[in-house]
Structure 1
């Protein structure tokens, strides 16, 4: 657990390190860096990778977004430009 002291010689994080939509991360112990999180991204850690901003989309290493208000259990998934939408068995047969 971090311990807090009031020793002025301790290292600290400068407020000038941050822009808006920024979080502080550390990939190596005691080396904080700023990570800007753009729109349509989330902070995450893909398997075998470091902490990063992970895009939402349908490309490799993206987090998939559901693009259908009524996607339900047992639906089949259809990729769209904006993510996945649910298709019933009857809709799949009709294609």
Structure 2
């Protein structure tokens, strides 16, 4: 995993379970904003998963990932798959798509 000069990283996570029509993207955005320093988006996929892309400090991305895997999320999370990458940028805040 490559970090830029500020220690920023890109987290892409795919969340499986009952995570659509339960406010999952909204709560993910609210949590990302509460953690701070993150930009990206949460997107419903056609197969029922939610994809989350978050860029920012590694520690903040880890906090978001921990929340995704916690019991505090809406709906029911059966599993989270993630990959880490280099920041690509281009996001204005944290969006629901």
TM-score (norm 2): 0.23
The structure richer in helix per residue is: 2
Please tell me whether Structure 1 or Structure 2 has the larger radius of gyration of its CA atoms: 1
